[in-house]
Each structure stands twice: as C-alpha cells, then as structure tokens.
DNA sequence: TTGAAAGCGCTAACAT
DNA sequence: ATGTTAGCGCTTTCAA
C-alpha cells in the first residue's frame, strides 16, 4: 500500500471483504457482528482512511454538489452585495446537509464553456444568480436538463426555470402607495438597469399604482438609471433642471436614491422638505452611512436559503417542474419621505410597515 | 443508449474504439487519419456528448478543483468584504486556467468534518482564507499533506503553510511615520480583533515606529477594539473622557476609525482640527460615504490572485515548501490627519504616497 | 494509425 | 452475517 489508503487497504487490514468495509464505513453496521465492526472501524482509523469522493460520486452517480453560477456581469462579485447575500443563504442551507458548492463564473467571451462546466456530471443541480436579460445562461433548457433554480430575476415563464426572488412588484406597489398616502401627487421615478427584470418590474408597479390612484404619469419625471449611484446623481441633474418639479421621487434602488440625494445637497435642495426621496433594497452601506432613507427592505439571504431548499427538494423528489417563490419585502419608513401637505397620513391597509426602531404598525 | 451519452456511445457511433475517441476528444488527433477525426468529432457533436468530469477525475487522479475554505468566523461572508475581495482574485486567476472552485465553510461545531471535506480527493489544493488564531484549520499538517496556501493571515512559520498577505507591518509603519511627520507626538491607537494576526502586527508596527522616534508610548491611549465600527466608538468614549488627550489616533482599520469619528462628531470634537484620525484598509463603504479618511490602501484582490498563482505553481512543480508573499500597501493621504502644528510637512522618504486625486509624489 | 485491456476507488445488486 | 462480482465513465499503458 502506497499513497493514500483505499478501501482495499482497510479491508485487508481488517481481514474482511471490501463490501463489508464499505457497508460498515457507511454506517450500515447493524448486519455485522460487533467484532467485525470494531475491526473495520479501527483499521480505518489506524490507516487514517478517508473515502475518495470522486470514486464514490462515480459509483453513486451523484455528487452532492450544487453549482452556483454567477452571471458574467457579476463575475467580480466584490461589489455585488446581492450575490453574496444570496450565496450566504445558499451556504447556510446546503452546508449542514453535506452538500458542497461549486462556484461557476462564466467567461464573458465563451458561453459554451459554461455549459461544459455545468453539464459535465460534476454537480447535481445548479443555482443561477441574477441572470440578466439576454444572458446565454437563460438558454437553459436548450442545453441542459439539470435541475436548476434561478434567483434574483423573476423571469418570464417561457424560460422554464424554477425561481426564487423578492416580490418586486408587490413591494414597489406598497412603497408607491405609501408615498401617495403622504399626500404626494407629483411623483418622479428613477429606473434601474434596463437589462434587469427587477428594474422593469419595479417600474411597472410604480406606474400601475399611480394609474390606480388616477395620478397622471409625467414621462419627463421618469428617468433612466442603471442601479449605480452615479446614475442617480445624473437623474437628479436632469430632473431638477426642469421648471415643474415633482414633490417626491422614488428610485428603483437605494444606491440611485443616495446619488440623487447627494446631488440635491449640492444644489441645496433640502430632502425631504422640498423633495421627498424613497429607495429600494435597504442597502447595508446606506444604513451604515446613517442616511435615514425610506425604502423597501427584503431578505436576500432568505432568497438564497429558499432557492437551495427548493433545489434539493427537486433533486429528492425528481419533480423539477418550474416553481416560483416570491418573498415579500417590508416598507421601512425613515425620514426621507415627508407628507406633501399637513394631512394626517392614513395607515397602509394591506402591508407590513416597519417604522424605524423596529415596531410594526 | 439511455441517459447521457458516454464515450462508448460516441465510439460506437463513430465506429471506432473508445481509446481513439478519448484521444481525439482530448485533442490528440495528430496521430489519426483526418477521416477518423472528423467521424469522432461529429459523432460527439451529434450526440451532444459531454465528458463526465467525475470519471475523468478518477482516472486522472486529479480534479482541477481548488477548495476555498472560509474560517468559521467568516461563514457568513456577506459583510466580510475581505473574503470576497480575495475570492474575486482567486476566481480571476483560476477560472481562465479551467480550475473549478469548491467553497468550503466549516461548521463551527465539527472541525473533523472539515478535514473529511478537504481531504477526500475532491480537490487538488486549498486556499485558506484568513484563519484566525486558534482555528482548527491551522492544525493543517497534522491532518493533511494537500498543497495549501493561507491568505490574509501572516502566520508564524511553525504552521508550515504557504502564505500570501498584505504587508501589515510595513504599511502600518509607513502610516505611523506619516502621522509623526505631521508633527504629532501624542498618538493613540485602537487595536483590532485580538484573534487576528493582522491586529497584532499592526499594533506592533505602531509601537516600533513610536519607539524609533523616541516617542513615549502611553498605554492609556492604546485601546482594545475588534475591527467593528462600534468598537471604534467605544474606544472614542474611553479615550475622550481622559483629561490628557492625544492629538492623533490611528485605528487598526477603517471601520473603527469611522466609529471613532462618529463619536467625535457627537461630542462635537472636530476632526482633524482637534484630533487627527487615520484608518487602515481603505474600505469601499467609507470612500462611498465621502469620508476623506487618511488610510492605507491595499489590494485584496491581488492577494487572492497571487495565492491562486502560488498554489497552482506548487501543484505543477510539486514543490510545496512554505513560501510567503507580502504585498505592500499604499498610504492614501486625505483629510483626517492634519499637521499638529504649522510646520511644512516633509515628504516620506521610502514609501509610495498617493494623495487624493491619484497623483504620486 | 488504431485498439484491447487494465485500472482509478468505490457502490450495490446478488449470491452464499 | 459476509463475500463475489459487475459496473460507474474515463485514461492510459502497451500491443498490434
């Protein structure tokens, strides 16, 4: 015996067959005599035996490994808070269940390489993190029948992918309702990145709620952003140079809201006195900055956790029909949205509202 | 043929042996007739054949997979910026070289489980991210002879691990020198987390430079922190309640520096007019907050990149003698350290200094 | 230029 | 209660 000890070495030392050794080492010791069990166990221990995962995977035809695919856009995950919040949740669910995680970062220039890495029997299933519109990853069913769950992008049904995401639509609806209840009728909007489904969903919800309240939508107050803080600042410049201004602006995420507010400060336009601002995401760095931004809080960790759970469920049951799980967000009322006029604000009827301090009303 | 096509299926379809098929599919087509090559290639394509990584790994006795181990402390990587900056670098190096990455997050309560996951033949080598003092991971050589590189913790030699880290000592020395050159003689220090080697290295460098300049070390100005922003605030409370105050404080990282400054603002102690503050790390969120913190900038991405490079080098050469790579940091002079008195400041002799705006002097 | 055959280390029917 | 045997899908000598 040279190199790492194998099952054969252990069997030899215990003086029994490989099968016996394998069975006992896998915990099926009930059928064996106590003496045998002990011999095998101590032989394994003495040799420092560790089962070879590769061989086991080959024989079992499964790997207890889940692939996590980051879209090319997110290849550098550093500043993509979203991706690692989700990843944390995935880890939290998978790790205690003895699943391993393989990180897959597609090279932008070679989409086929991704498929080679995904569909090569090295993983049992895959979690796609926030695929964007037009991503080659979404051609999923053309290339692979591996169980998959997409996360962070509520895709159209035709992609035939199970999905877990926050409920962008409902959350933005709640936020917009709240702003309207504060008496605002002149409301602007800063759109998110055009390749993200979430951006469209948030915008759509905003428009719908305005319409439902009979509030006219002023297209000149709806500005294109890209989820980056700078784009919020640019939107501010565009908006604030108009002669007629809204009394409130909703940004499709916190980063843009903060960019917007920074520009406001430069222009000495007080928030929320002159203009109210709301964000979306409850970004950690914004909280940490001490900015009292009214926003939507949601649980990305939970998204990852549930995605992993759903995927394992599909693996176990073999039922891989596409499912969709939406996690509701929570309105967090802080200080950047003020009443448009001195009316008592009416509480929102059908949404959880978290006021700063943590009390629910 | 049912299920996924195997090499045998391709061989059968191409009308040749498995060996031939394998060779051609691996690019060793020079020894075969053009006709044969084409037949194999198109058979593979028609069947949608994808080589099974598990079987290949077993036969080759290597996996082209690198494990990345996050210390229990870092299991939730979300707010551990360090870990994913490094991870990004690791990905950047490994991914184009067709290595896969397996994420390993040890369960706090079961150290043995980690070894089972690491030493089971599923990875060729491993990168340990910022193991802390007392981490079971550091018993490395007791349990495994797998090539390994530790990152983010400059460990004592006896751990027999290759290492890549920023040069905490040199960087803190540069920073301290700078503060002294600004005329400060009364300098406080906020220590980092006591289980992190970096904390001790930074403190030691601070003390050394003070001593070298004949500046007395006032222990009551050296406060315990834990790298968290709150601990910086607490340190501020402790320090600022003393009757005799330093004119400058160096925090072992940015987070604590900001916590310290926030407390200063509460107490209406102007920074840097009354007290200068320096940080370490050049944290992204601090920059984004627009805080003009004088600090040390260093390249964590590079740390990960070089760690991956070193590991692969060891894998290829088989030379796994422990090596240590230290990456220098850069002093970034912003606005939180002011001259202690109206002397022209002398440029630092032997360190790169980056003044805000990017010019080097 | 091609192929046969012996593994890689383990699992799991199927004996005994 | 224990062992025999036939794979898992691929790589790789070695022979032809």
Q: What is the DSSP string of A29-64?
A: -TTS-HHHHHHHHHHHHHHT----HHHHHHHHT---
Q: Is the pLDDT of residue A357 over 50?
A: no
CATH 3.90.1150.10 fits A168-297+333-352, yes or no: no
What's the CA B316/C1' C11 distance, rounded, in angstroms? 32
Q: Which residues of B touch A119 (CB under 8 A)?
A: 50
Q: Which of A85, A95, A301 sits opposite B107 (nearest CB)?
A: A95
The most confident of the ranges A66-80, A88-102, A170-184, B308-322 is A170-184
Instruction: Report the protein residue whose CA lies nearest the C1' of nucleotide C13.
Output: A19
- C-alpha atoms less than 13 angstroms from C-alpha of A348 in its C-beta half-sphere: 22
Q: Is the CB of A25 under 7 A from strand C?
A: yes
- What angle, 0 to 180 degrees and rounded to 10, lies between the N-to-C axes of helices A197-212 and A168-181? 40
Nucleotide nearest to A32 (CA to C1'): D1
pLDDT in tens, chain B (361 residues): 567 899 999 999 999 999 999 999 999 999 999 999 999 999 999 999 999 999 999 999 999 999 999 875 544 433 467 787 888 899 989 988 999 999 988 876 677 788 888 999 999 999 999 888 888 888 888 888 899 999 988 898 889 999 999 999 999 999 999 999 999 999 999 999 999 999 999 999 999 999 999 999 999 999 999 998 899 999 999 999 999 999 999 999 999 999 999 999 999 999 999 999 999 999 888 887 789 999 999 999 999 999 999 999 999 998 889 999 999 999 999 999 999 864 434 444 444 555 554 443 3
Q: How far apart are CA A154 and CA A170, in angstroms?
A: 13
Q: Which nucleotide is nearest to B34 (CA to C1')?
A: C1
Q: Of A48, A50, A261, which to mutate for an interface test with B (greatest number of B Cβ within 10 Å)?
A: A50
CB atoms within 10 A of CB A180: 18
Q: How many helices (H) and strands (E) does chain B have?
A: 13, 13
Measured in angstroms, the CA of A188 and the nearest CA of chain B are apart by 25
| Closest partner CB to A52 (pick from B50, B117, B120) | B120
B32 beta carbon < 7 A from strand C?
yes
- Quick one: angle between helices B81-94 and B300-317, nearest 10? 40
Average pLDDT, integer, range A308-335:
94
Residue A99 distance to chain B (closest CA, Å): 10
DSSP classification of residue B194: T
- Contact between the CB of A4 and strand C at under 7 Å: yes
CA distance B313 to B307: 10
- pLDDT > 90: percent of chain A: 69
- A103–B122 C-beta distance less than 8 A: no
CA–CA gap between residue A53 and residue B274 (Å, rounded):
61
The reply to whether B18 has its C-beta less than 7 Å from any atom of strand D is yes
CA A58 → C1' D6, Å?
14
Contacts of residue B285 in chain A, CB cutoff 8 Å?
284-285, 288-289
- pLDDT (tens digit per residue) in A87-127: 889 999 998 899 999 998 877 667 778 888 899 999 999 99
* Alpha-carbon span A92 to A304, nearest angstrom: 9
pLDDT on residue B278 = 98
pLDDT in tens, A197-239: 999 999 999 999 999 999 999 999 999 999 988 999 999 999 9
Q: How confident is the model at residue A77 (pLDDT cuts 50, 70, 90)?
A: very low
Chain B: give the shortest CA distance to residue A151, in Å: 17
Let me know: does B195 contact B209? Beta carbons within 8 Å: no
The nearest CA of chain A is from the CA of B197 a distance in Å of 23
CA-nearest residue to A228 within chain B is B288
Q: Say if the Cβ atoms of B53 and A122 lie within 8 Å.
A: yes
Q: With 60 as the cut, is the pLDDT of residue A346 above it?
A: no
- How do the residues of chain A divide into helix, strand and coil, expressed in percent and rounded to 5? 45, 15, 40
Q: Do B122 and A53 touch (CB under 8 A)?
A: yes
- Among the residues of B241-283, which ranges form H helices? 254-266
Residue A271 to residues A187, A247, A254, A258, B314, Cα–Cα distance (Å): 14, 10, 15, 11, 57
The domain defined by B65-167+301-328 carries CATH number 3.40.1390.20: no
Q: From CA B221, how far away is CA B235, in angstroms rounded? A: 9
Q: Looking at the partner chain, which of A55, A115, A284 has a beta carbon nearest the beta carbon of B79?
A: A284
Q: What distance in Å separates residue B38's CA from the closest CA in chain A?
A: 20
Q: Do B78 and A58 touch (CB under 8 A)?
A: no
Tens-digit pLDDT profile for residues A234-265: 999 999 999 999 999 999 999 999 999 999 99
**Positions in chain C where some atom is under 7 Å from a protein CB:** 1-5, 7-13
3-state DSSP assignment of residue A196: coil
Position A70 scores a pLDDT of 83
pLDDT for B9-64, tens place per residue?
999 999 999 999 999 999 999 999 999 999 999 999 999 999 999 999 999 999 99
The chain A residue lying nearest B119, using CA atoms, is A50
DSSP B322-333: --EEEE--EEEE
Predicted local confidence at residue B258, as pLDDT: 94
Contact across the interface for B88 and A76, Cβ inside 8 Å: yes
Tell if B52 CB is < 7 Å from nucleic strand C. Answer: no
Give the dihedral sign, CA B129/B135/B137/B139: positive
Taking the CA of residue A43 and the C1' sugar atom of nucleotide D12, their distance in angstroms comes to: 32
Q: Buried b / exposed e across A274-283, counting CB within 10 Å, b at 16+?
A: ebbbbbbbbb
Taking CB atoms and an 8 Å limit, are B58 and A53 in contact across chains? no
Nearest residue to B249 via CA among B271, B282, B281: B271
pLDDT value of residue A307? 97
- Per-residue confidence (pLDDT) for residue B356, from 0 to 100: 56
Among A190-199, A349-358, B40-49, name the one with the lowest average pLDDT: A349-358
Question: Is the Cβ–Cβ distance between B247 and B186 less than 8 Å?
Answer: yes
Position B347 scores a pLDDT of 43
Return the domain boundaries, chain A. 7-51, 65-167+301-328, 168-297+333-352
Are both A65-167+301-328 and A168-297+333-352 of the same fold?
A: yes
DSSP result, B158-187: GG--EEEEE-HHHHHHHHHHHHHHTT--SE
- Compute the nearest-CA separation of A239 from chain B (Å): 23
Give A138-156 pLDDT, tens digit per residue: 888 888 889 999 998 889 8
Please state, in angstroms and rounded to a whole number, the distance separating the CA atoms of residues A50 and B272.
59
Using the CA of A20, which nucleotide's C1' is the nearest one? D2
H-type helices in chain B, by residue range? 7-14, 18-25, 34-47, 53-60, 81-94, 111-118, 140-143, 168-181, 197-212, 229-240, 254-266, 284-289, 300-317
B16 strand C contact, CB < 7 Å: yes
Quick one: pLDDT at residue A351? 46
Q: Which two tokens stand for residue B353?
A: 């200094």
- Per the structure, the residues numbered 55 to 84 in protein chain A that have their CB within 7 angstroms of any atom of strand D are 55, 58-59, 61
Task: Provide the CA A32 to C1' D1 distance, Å, integer.
Answer: 6
Burial bucket for residue B269 (CB in 10 Å: 0-12, 13-18, 19+):
middle
């Amino acid at each position: 015996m040279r190199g790492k000890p194998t099952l054969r070495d252990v069997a030899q030392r215990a003086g029994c067959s490989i099968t016996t050794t394998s069975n006992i080492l896998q915990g099926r010791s009930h059928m064996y005599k106590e003496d045998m069990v002990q011999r095998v166990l101590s032989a394994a221990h003495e040799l420092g035996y560790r089962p070879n995962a590769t061989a086991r995977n080959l024989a079992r035809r499964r790997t207890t490994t889940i692939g996590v695919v980051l879209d090319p856009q997110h290849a550098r995950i550093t500043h993509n808070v979203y991706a690692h919040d989700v990843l944390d949740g995935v880890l939290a669910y998978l790790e205690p269940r003895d699943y391993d995680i393989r990180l897959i970062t597609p090279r932008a220039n070679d989409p086929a390489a991704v498929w080679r890495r995904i569909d090569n029997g090295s993983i049992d299933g895959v979690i796609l993190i926030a695929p964007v519109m037009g991503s080659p990853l979404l051609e999923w069913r053309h290339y692979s029948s591996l169980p998959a769950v997409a996360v962070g992008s509520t895709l159209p049904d035709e992609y035939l992918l199970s999905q877990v995401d926050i409920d962008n639509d409902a959350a933005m609806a709640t936020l917009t309702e709240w702003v309207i209840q504060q008496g605002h009728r002149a409301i602007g909007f800063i759109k998110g990145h055009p390749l993200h489904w979430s951006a469209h969903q948030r915008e759509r919800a905003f428009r719908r709620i305005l319409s439902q309240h009979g509030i006219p939508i002023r297209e000149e107050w709806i500005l294109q952003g890209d989820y980056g803080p700078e784009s919020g600042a640019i939107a501010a410049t565009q908006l604030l140079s108009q002669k007629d201004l809204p009394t409130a602006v909703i940004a499709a995420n916190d980063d843009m809201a903060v960019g917007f507010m920074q520009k406001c400060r430069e222009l000495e336009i007080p928030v929320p006195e002159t203009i109210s601002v709301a964000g979306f995401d409850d970004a950690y760095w914004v909280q940490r900055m001490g900015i009292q931004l009214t926003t939507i809080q949601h649980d990305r960790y939970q998204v990852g956790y549930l995605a992993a759970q759903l995927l394992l469920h599909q693996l176990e049951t073999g039922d891989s029909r596409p499912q969709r799980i939406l996690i509701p967000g929570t309105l967090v009322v802080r200080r950047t949205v003020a009443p448009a006029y001195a009316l008592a604000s009416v509480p929102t009827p059908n949404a959880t509202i978290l006021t700063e301090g943590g009390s629910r009303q």
